[in-house]
Amino acid sequence: MRSLVLIAAAVALSACSQEAAQTPTPAETTDTAAAPAETAEPAAGRSALAGDEAAGTYTVTWADGTVTSTTINADGTYIDMMGEDETARGTWEVKDGKSCLTPEGGAELCWTDSEPAADGSWTATADDGTTVTVAKASNATG
């Protein structure tokens, strides 16, 4: 469960850490489906993994203060770590604007990402109500 949360949070962080180049015009906001994913800035409630910059390593802070990391790879896979120990690995994808992570042999868990804070971190909330704070730690070669 923590691995899924970690991944979702990491994905959310990636999208939220990107700054918008300019404020979209009304035409751009009404036709977002036509905009390529790599130029569209994720909004609140949208997956941070929707853009080309999703690959990377993310720091995930849990409600109890535990810190884990998730590495999101460009090939649609992820790995969760707690310190030097791998806790999960599996696949990720964006579904209905959410970051969905499926660990090997486990059930899919989807996350909704908040708007980024001033420091680039964001809150990811799982469908089961679990919340974590996510921040991008580094880029991955994925």
Give the pLDDT confidence of 129-141 residue by residue, as tens digits. 999 999 998 654 4
List the one residue out of 64, 73, 56 whose CA is nearest residue 135. 56
pLDDT, mean of residues 48-62: 81
Count of domains forming the chain: 1
Coil/strand/helix, residue 102: strand
Q: Residue ranges of the alpha helices (H) in 17-98?
A: 26-30
Q: Are 124 and 113 in contact (CB under 8 A)?
A: yes
CATH number at residue 116: 2.40.128
Confidence (pTM): 0.65
Q: What percent of the chain has pLDDT over 90?
A: 49
Q: Range of 79's domain?
A: 2-138
